[in-house]
Amino acid sequence: MSQKTFNIASPEKRIVPFLQEKIDNLTKPKGSLGRLEELALQIGTIQQTLTPTLTKPQHIIFGGDHGIVVEGVSYSPAEVTPQMVFNFMEGGAGINFLTRQHGFGIKVVDSGINYDFTGLEGRLIDLKVGKGTRNYLHEAAMTREEYELCLERGASVVDQCHEEGSNIVSFGEMGIGNTSSSSMWMTCLTGIDLEKCVGAGSGFDSEGVKRKYNILKQSLDNYKGDGSVEDVLSYFGGYEMVMAVGGMLRAAELKMVILIDGFIMTNCVLAASKLYPEVLEYCIFGHQGDEIGHKLVLDYLCAKPLLFFDLRLGEGTGAVCAYPLVESAVRMINEMSTFKHAKVTKYFE
Protein backbone atom coordinates (compact mmCIF):
# COMPACT_ATOMS: atom_id res chain seq x y z
CA MET A 1 0.00 0.00 0.00
CA SER A 2 1.35 3.43 -0.94
CA GLN A 3 2.03 5.91 1.84
CA LYS A 4 -0.74 8.42 2.52
CA THR A 5 0.51 11.98 2.09
CA PHE A 6 -1.02 15.36 2.83
CA ASN A 7 -0.34 18.80 1.38
CA ILE A 8 -0.42 21.06 4.45
CA ALA A 9 0.80 24.63 4.14
CA SER A 10 1.13 27.23 6.87
CA PRO A 11 -1.56 29.92 6.56
CA GLU A 12 -0.32 32.91 4.58
CA LYS A 13 0.79 35.62 7.03
CA ARG A 14 0.37 38.75 4.88
CA ILE A 15 -3.12 39.24 6.30
CA VAL A 16 -1.91 39.27 9.93
CA PRO A 17 -1.17 43.02 10.26
CA PHE A 18 -4.56 43.88 8.74
CA LEU A 19 -6.34 41.56 11.16
CA GLN A 20 -4.35 43.00 14.05
CA GLU A 21 -5.20 46.54 13.00
CA LYS A 22 -8.91 45.70 12.90
CA ILE A 23 -8.75 44.04 16.33
CA ASP A 24 -6.78 46.93 17.84
CA ASN A 25 -9.29 49.50 16.58
CA LEU A 26 -12.37 47.89 18.09
CA THR A 27 -13.93 49.91 20.91
CA LYS A 28 -11.79 48.57 23.75
CA PRO A 29 -8.28 49.06 25.09
CA LYS A 30 -5.70 47.25 23.00
CA GLY A 31 -5.37 43.65 24.17
CA SER A 32 -8.14 43.97 26.75
CA LEU A 33 -10.06 40.98 25.43
CA GLY A 34 -7.02 38.81 25.89
CA ARG A 35 -7.24 35.33 24.43
CA LEU A 36 -10.33 36.24 22.42
CA GLU A 37 -8.14 38.59 20.41
CA GLU A 38 -5.55 35.85 19.88
CA LEU A 39 -8.24 33.43 18.72
CA ALA A 40 -9.75 35.95 16.31
CA LEU A 41 -6.31 36.59 14.83
CA GLN A 42 -5.64 32.86 14.44
CA ILE A 43 -9.01 32.06 12.86
CA GLY A 44 -8.85 35.05 10.53
CA THR A 45 -5.37 33.96 9.45
CA ILE A 46 -6.51 30.38 8.83
CA GLN A 47 -9.48 31.59 6.79
CA GLN A 48 -7.58 34.48 5.15
CA THR A 49 -10.32 36.98 5.89
CA LEU A 50 -11.01 39.99 8.11
CA THR A 51 -14.51 38.59 8.74
CA PRO A 52 -14.05 34.95 9.79
CA THR A 53 -17.03 32.64 10.23
CA LEU A 54 -17.78 29.34 11.94
CA THR A 55 -20.07 27.17 9.86
CA LYS A 56 -21.69 23.84 10.69
CA PRO A 57 -19.30 22.67 13.43
CA GLN A 58 -18.84 18.91 13.39
CA HIS A 59 -17.65 16.51 16.07
CA ILE A 60 -16.19 13.13 15.13
CA ILE A 61 -15.81 10.26 17.62
CA PHE A 62 -13.56 7.40 16.56
CA GLY A 63 -13.96 4.15 18.50
CA GLY A 64 -11.55 1.22 18.75
CA ASP A 65 -10.41 -1.53 21.08
CA HIS A 66 -6.85 -2.15 22.27
CA GLY A 67 -5.11 -5.50 22.62
CA ILE A 68 -3.03 -4.29 25.57
CA VAL A 69 -6.20 -4.26 27.73
CA VAL A 70 -5.80 -7.99 28.47
CA GLU A 71 -2.76 -7.03 30.58
CA GLY A 72 -4.93 -5.09 33.03
CA VAL A 73 -3.85 -1.57 32.07
CA SER A 74 -7.37 -0.12 32.26
CA TYR A 75 -9.73 0.36 35.18
CA SER A 76 -12.70 -0.12 32.83
CA PRO A 77 -13.44 -3.46 31.14
CA ALA A 78 -13.19 -3.79 27.36
CA GLU A 79 -16.94 -4.32 26.91
CA VAL A 80 -17.47 -0.66 27.80
CA THR A 81 -16.26 0.41 24.33
CA PRO A 82 -19.25 -0.99 22.35
CA GLN A 83 -21.65 -0.18 25.20
CA MET A 84 -20.65 3.46 25.01
CA VAL A 85 -21.10 3.48 21.25
CA PHE A 86 -24.73 2.50 21.76
CA ASN A 87 -24.97 5.28 24.35
CA PHE A 88 -23.57 7.79 21.84
CA MET A 89 -26.08 6.69 19.25
CA GLU A 90 -28.94 7.05 21.74
CA GLY A 91 -27.78 10.55 22.69
CA GLY A 92 -27.14 9.80 26.36
CA ALA A 93 -23.40 10.38 26.74
CA GLY A 94 -21.53 13.41 28.01
CA ILE A 95 -20.53 14.47 24.52
CA ASN A 96 -24.15 14.32 23.35
CA PHE A 97 -25.51 17.04 25.62
CA LEU A 98 -22.57 19.29 24.71
CA THR A 99 -22.94 18.84 20.96
CA ARG A 100 -26.67 19.51 21.29
CA GLN A 101 -26.03 22.60 23.43
CA HIS A 102 -23.51 24.09 21.02
CA GLY A 103 -25.09 23.08 17.72
CA PHE A 104 -22.56 20.49 16.56
CA GLY A 105 -23.27 17.69 14.18
CA ILE A 106 -21.88 14.41 15.48
CA LYS A 107 -20.45 11.44 13.62
CA VAL A 108 -19.58 8.19 15.40
CA VAL A 109 -17.10 5.92 13.64
CA ASP A 110 -16.32 2.26 14.30
CA SER A 111 -12.58 2.31 13.63
CA GLY A 112 -11.85 -1.09 15.11
CA ILE A 113 -14.17 -2.19 17.89
CA ASN A 114 -14.27 -5.85 18.91
CA TYR A 115 -18.01 -6.11 18.40
CA ASP A 116 -20.45 -6.77 15.55
CA PHE A 117 -22.96 -3.91 15.64
CA THR A 118 -26.48 -4.47 14.41
CA GLY A 119 -29.37 -2.06 14.23
CA LEU A 120 -27.17 0.99 13.74
CA GLU A 121 -26.89 0.83 9.96
CA GLY A 122 -26.96 4.25 8.37
CA ARG A 123 -26.09 5.95 11.67
CA LEU A 124 -22.85 4.40 12.87
CA ILE A 125 -20.09 4.91 10.28
CA ASP A 126 -18.48 1.51 9.74
CA LEU A 127 -14.80 1.94 8.87
CA LYS A 128 -13.62 -1.02 10.96
CA VAL A 129 -10.02 -1.98 10.21
CA GLY A 130 -9.97 -4.92 12.63
CA LYS A 131 -11.60 -6.16 15.82
CA GLY A 132 -9.20 -4.38 18.10
CA THR A 133 -5.45 -3.97 17.84
CA ARG A 134 -2.90 -6.60 18.82
CA ASN A 135 -1.18 -6.65 22.19
CA TYR A 136 1.92 -4.47 21.91
CA LEU A 137 3.45 -6.07 24.96
CA HIS A 138 4.36 -8.84 22.51
CA GLU A 139 3.96 -7.47 18.96
CA ALA A 140 3.01 -4.41 16.93
CA ALA A 141 -0.55 -3.20 17.57
CA MET A 142 -1.17 -2.93 13.82
CA THR A 143 0.54 -3.57 10.53
CA ARG A 144 1.88 -0.71 8.44
CA GLU A 145 -0.90 -1.42 5.94
CA GLU A 146 -3.53 -1.06 8.66
CA TYR A 147 -1.88 2.17 9.79
CA GLU A 148 -2.09 3.63 6.29
CA LEU A 149 -5.69 2.51 5.98
CA CYS A 150 -6.54 4.27 9.24
CA LEU A 151 -5.01 7.53 8.00
CA GLU A 152 -7.04 7.33 4.78
CA ARG A 153 -10.30 6.46 6.51
CA GLY A 154 -9.91 9.16 9.15
CA ALA A 155 -9.30 11.70 6.40
CA SER A 156 -12.40 10.50 4.53
CA VAL A 157 -14.68 11.36 7.47
CA VAL A 158 -13.33 14.91 7.54
CA ASP A 159 -13.91 15.10 3.78
CA GLN A 160 -17.55 14.28 4.45
CA CYS A 161 -17.80 17.02 7.08
CA HIS A 162 -16.20 19.54 4.73
CA GLU A 163 -18.54 18.59 1.89
CA GLU A 164 -21.46 19.22 4.25
CA GLY A 165 -20.25 22.80 4.72
CA SER A 166 -18.25 22.55 7.94
CA ASN A 167 -15.17 24.73 8.44
CA ILE A 168 -14.49 23.75 12.08
CA VAL A 169 -14.14 20.23 13.41
CA SER A 170 -13.42 18.61 16.76
CA PHE A 171 -12.36 15.06 17.54
CA GLY A 172 -13.09 12.60 20.31
CA GLU A 173 -12.40 8.96 21.02
CA MET A 174 -13.83 5.88 22.65
CA GLY A 175 -11.49 2.99 23.34
CA ILE A 176 -10.76 1.27 26.63
CA GLY A 177 -6.97 1.26 26.97
CA ASN A 178 -6.22 4.27 24.82
CA THR A 179 -4.65 6.32 27.62
CA SER A 180 -1.97 3.60 27.70
CA SER A 181 -1.37 3.89 23.97
CA SER A 182 -1.27 7.67 24.30
CA SER A 183 1.35 7.38 27.04
CA MET A 184 3.48 5.22 24.76
CA TRP A 185 3.22 7.72 21.90
CA MET A 186 4.03 10.56 24.28
CA THR A 187 7.20 9.07 25.70
CA CYS A 188 8.47 7.89 22.31
CA LEU A 189 7.72 11.15 20.48
CA THR A 190 8.78 13.65 23.15
CA GLY A 191 11.49 11.87 25.11
CA ILE A 192 9.61 12.58 28.35
CA ASP A 193 10.16 9.75 30.81
CA LEU A 194 7.40 7.14 30.63
CA GLU A 195 6.63 7.44 34.35
CA LYS A 196 5.56 11.07 33.80
CA CYS A 197 3.33 10.02 30.91
CA VAL A 198 1.28 7.39 32.75
CA GLY A 199 -1.79 8.41 34.73
CA ALA A 200 -4.98 7.05 36.23
CA GLY A 201 -6.92 6.76 32.98
CA SER A 202 -10.56 6.04 33.78
CA GLY A 203 -10.01 5.64 37.51
CA PHE A 204 -6.96 3.71 38.76
CA ASP A 205 -5.67 4.29 42.28
CA SER A 206 -1.92 4.65 42.89
CA GLU A 207 -1.36 0.89 42.93
CA GLY A 208 -3.25 0.52 39.67
CA VAL A 209 -1.18 3.26 38.06
CA LYS A 210 1.98 1.47 39.20
CA ARG A 211 0.85 -1.81 37.63
CA LYS A 212 -0.08 0.03 34.43
CA TYR A 213 3.33 1.69 34.33
CA ASN A 214 5.14 -1.63 34.81
CA ILE A 215 3.28 -3.22 31.88
CA LEU A 216 3.96 -0.22 29.64
CA LYS A 217 7.61 -0.10 30.68
CA GLN A 218 7.94 -3.78 29.76
CA SER A 219 6.24 -3.07 26.41
CA LEU A 220 8.71 -0.25 25.76
CA ASP A 221 11.65 -2.49 26.69
CA ASN A 222 10.35 -5.17 24.31
CA TYR A 223 10.03 -2.73 21.39
CA LYS A 224 12.58 -3.47 18.67
CA GLY A 225 11.30 -1.11 15.97
CA ASP A 226 13.25 1.57 14.14
CA GLY A 227 11.91 4.46 16.25
CA SER A 228 10.49 6.35 13.26
CA VAL A 229 7.26 8.26 13.79
CA GLU A 230 5.33 5.89 11.54
CA ASP A 231 6.72 2.84 13.34
CA VAL A 232 5.91 4.22 16.80
CA LEU A 233 2.37 5.13 15.76
CA SER A 234 1.64 1.73 14.25
CA TYR A 235 3.40 -0.30 16.97
CA PHE A 236 1.74 1.33 19.99
CA GLY A 237 -1.34 3.06 18.56
CA GLY A 238 -5.03 2.35 18.36
CA TYR A 239 -7.07 2.24 15.18
CA GLU A 240 -9.22 5.11 16.47
CA MET A 241 -6.14 7.16 17.36
CA VAL A 242 -4.51 6.82 13.95
CA MET A 243 -7.83 7.68 12.29
CA ALA A 244 -7.94 10.83 14.40
CA VAL A 245 -4.42 11.68 13.20
CA GLY A 246 -5.56 11.24 9.61
CA GLY A 247 -8.62 13.36 10.28
CA MET A 248 -6.57 16.16 11.83
CA LEU A 249 -4.12 16.20 8.95
CA ARG A 250 -6.91 16.30 6.37
CA ALA A 251 -8.66 19.11 8.26
CA ALA A 252 -5.45 21.16 8.18
CA GLU A 253 -5.03 20.40 4.49
CA LEU A 254 -8.56 21.74 3.95
CA LYS A 255 -7.72 24.81 6.08
CA MET A 256 -10.36 24.01 8.69
CA VAL A 257 -10.16 25.10 12.32
CA ILE A 258 -9.38 22.09 14.55
CA LEU A 259 -10.51 21.89 18.17
CA ILE A 260 -8.31 19.62 20.29
CA ASP A 261 -9.60 17.76 23.35
CA GLY A 262 -7.74 16.08 26.20
CA PHE A 263 -4.81 13.75 26.81
CA ILE A 264 -5.54 11.28 24.03
CA MET A 265 -6.41 13.77 21.32
CA THR A 266 -3.48 15.99 22.32
CA ASN A 267 -1.19 13.03 21.77
CA CYS A 268 -2.88 12.45 18.43
CA VAL A 269 -2.08 16.00 17.35
CA LEU A 270 1.44 15.53 18.74
CA ALA A 271 1.73 12.54 16.40
CA ALA A 272 0.24 14.51 13.51
CA SER A 273 2.71 17.34 14.12
CA LYS A 274 5.65 14.95 13.97
CA LEU A 275 4.51 14.07 10.45
CA TYR A 276 3.47 17.60 9.39
CA PRO A 277 4.46 20.38 11.85
CA GLU A 278 2.20 22.91 10.09
CA VAL A 279 -0.91 21.16 11.47
CA LEU A 280 -0.45 22.98 14.79
CA GLU A 281 -1.23 26.35 13.21
CA TYR A 282 -4.80 25.14 12.61
CA CYS A 283 -5.33 23.87 16.17
CA ILE A 284 -7.12 25.41 19.13
CA PHE A 285 -6.56 23.49 22.38
CA GLY A 286 -9.79 23.26 24.32
CA HIS A 287 -8.61 22.42 27.82
CA GLN A 288 -5.99 21.02 30.13
CA GLY A 289 -7.30 17.90 31.84
CA ASP A 290 -6.17 16.25 35.05
CA GLU A 291 -4.44 13.24 33.44
CA ILE A 292 -0.88 13.52 34.72
CA GLY A 293 0.82 13.81 31.34
CA HIS A 294 -1.58 16.24 29.70
CA LYS A 295 0.08 19.41 30.94
CA LEU A 296 3.50 18.06 29.97
CA VAL A 297 2.52 17.29 26.39
CA LEU A 298 0.71 20.65 26.08
CA ASP A 299 3.87 22.37 27.29
CA TYR A 300 5.94 20.37 24.83
CA LEU A 301 3.70 21.62 22.02
CA CYS A 302 3.77 25.22 23.39
CA ALA A 303 -0.02 24.96 23.42
CA LYS A 304 -2.25 27.32 25.43
CA PRO A 305 -5.45 25.56 26.52
CA LEU A 306 -8.60 27.62 26.91
CA LEU A 307 -10.14 25.85 29.92
CA PHE A 308 -8.88 24.35 33.18
CA PHE A 309 -11.92 22.36 34.29
CA ASP A 310 -10.37 19.11 35.62
CA LEU A 311 -12.06 17.26 32.75
CA ARG A 312 -11.00 13.68 32.02
CA LEU A 313 -13.98 12.09 30.33
CA GLY A 314 -12.59 12.10 26.81
CA GLU A 315 -15.08 11.73 23.96
CA GLY A 316 -14.06 15.24 22.87
CA THR A 317 -16.04 16.87 25.69
CA GLY A 318 -13.37 19.45 26.52
CA ALA A 319 -13.05 20.56 22.91
CA VAL A 320 -16.79 21.12 22.47
CA CYS A 321 -17.08 22.68 25.93
CA ALA A 322 -14.56 25.34 24.84
CA TYR A 323 -16.39 26.15 21.59
CA PRO A 324 -18.34 29.16 22.97
CA LEU A 325 -15.04 30.96 23.57
CA VAL A 326 -14.07 30.38 19.96
CA GLU A 327 -17.46 31.67 18.85
CA SER A 328 -17.04 34.72 21.09
CA ALA A 329 -13.75 35.53 19.38
CA VAL A 330 -15.41 35.48 15.97
CA ARG A 331 -18.32 37.56 17.21
CA MET A 332 -15.87 40.07 18.68
CA ILE A 333 -14.08 40.77 15.40
CA ASN A 334 -17.32 40.85 13.40
CA GLU A 335 -19.78 42.56 15.72
CA MET A 336 -17.85 45.13 17.76
CA SER A 337 -17.73 48.63 16.39
CA THR A 338 -14.53 50.46 15.58
CA PHE A 339 -13.75 53.74 17.31
CA LYS A 340 -14.33 55.60 14.05
CA HIS A 341 -17.67 53.95 13.29
CA ALA A 342 -19.01 54.35 16.83
CA LYS A 343 -17.70 57.95 17.09
CA VAL A 344 -15.86 57.05 20.30
CA THR A 345 -12.67 58.89 21.10
CA LYS A 346 -9.75 56.49 20.91
CA TYR A 347 -8.43 56.71 24.44
CA PHE A 348 -5.10 54.93 24.03
CA GLU A 349 -2.26 54.80 21.55
pTM assigned to the model: 0.96
Catalytic residues: 315
Establish if 161 belongs to a structural domain: yes
Q: Is residue 155 part of a domain?
A: yes
pLDDT tens, residue by residue, 150-181 = 999 999 999 999 999 999 999 999 999 999 99
Q: Is 91 left (phi over 0), alpha (psi -120 to 50) or beta?
A: left
C-alpha distances out from residue 80 to 83, 175, 195, 321, Å = 5, 8, 26, 23
197 within a domain of the structure (yes/no): yes
| pLDDT digits 0-9 by tens, 285-321 | 999 998 889 999 999 999 999 999 999 899 999 999 9
pLDDT band per the 50, 70, 90 thresholds, residue 344: confident
Range of the domain at 215: 58-323
In 3-state terms, what secondary structure has residue 176?
coil
The reply to whether 150 falls in a domain is yes
Q: How many domains is the chain partitioned into structurally? A: 1
Tell whether 342 is covered by a domain: no
Q: What is the pLDDT of residue 337?
A: 95
Q: Is 33 inside any structural domain?
A: no
3-state secondary structure of 183: helix
Q: What is the pLDDT of residues 238-278, one digit of tens each?
A: 999 999 999 999 999 999 999 999 999 999 999 999 999 99
Listing DSSP states for 65-127 in one string gives --GGGGGT--SS-TTHHHHHHHHHHHT-SHHHHHHHHHT-EEEEEEEE-SS---S-TTTSEE-
Q: Is 249 exposed, middle or buried (0-12, 13-18, 19+ CB in 10 A)?
A: buried
User: CATH number for the domain including 202?
Assistant: 3.40.50.10210
Structural domain includes residue 178: yes
Q: CA quadruple 155, 159, 162, 166: dihedral positive or negative?
A: negative
pLDDT surpasses 80 at 346: no
Q: Is 192 within 8 Å of 178 (Cβ atoms)? A: no
Collect all residues with Cβ–Cβ distance below 8 Å to 201 and sequence separation of at least 6: 73, 74, 75, 76, 179, 180, 212, 291
| Model confidence pLDDT, tens digit, residues 90-147 | 999 999 999 999 999 999 999 999 999 998 988 999 999 999 999 999 999 999 999 9
Q: Is residue 113 part of a domain?
A: yes
